[in-house]
Amino acid sequence: MNFNHKALFPETDNIELLNHQVVTKRDLLNFGNLLLQEIKSSTTQETLHKPWLKSAEVREILKISPGTLQNLRINGTLKYKRIGGIIYYNYEDITKMLEK
């Protein structure tokens, strides 16, 4: 993840000038906010683009308990595949279930 120095220090045109400057609390706050935005956007995009999700990811998306997810599997509301000891859910099946 590469940050553009203009995003962190908009007032600085030459990046070499940053080598001799003190980092302020405001600079750290700006960096923290930028890093947090980057992490949020990358995790959201990663979750949305994965075709198969594990149980924990599905529970996080649907905001449900493990028992509720198990009930969705048992009554056939949500299709799943078991590979070894891990249960996977198709993202498209989850969106279809939510649309009903």
The model's pTM is 0.52
* The predicted structure's pLDDT at residue 43: 63
Distance CA 28, CA 32 (A): 6
* The predicted structure's pLDDT at residue 28: 87
| 61-77 pLDDT, tens digit each | 899 999 999 999 999 99
Distance CA 59, CA 69 (A): 7
Residues sharing a CB contact under 8 Å with residue 3, sequence separation 6 or more, in sequence order: 34, 38
- Percent of all residues in the chain with a pLDDT value above 90, rounded to a whole number: 37
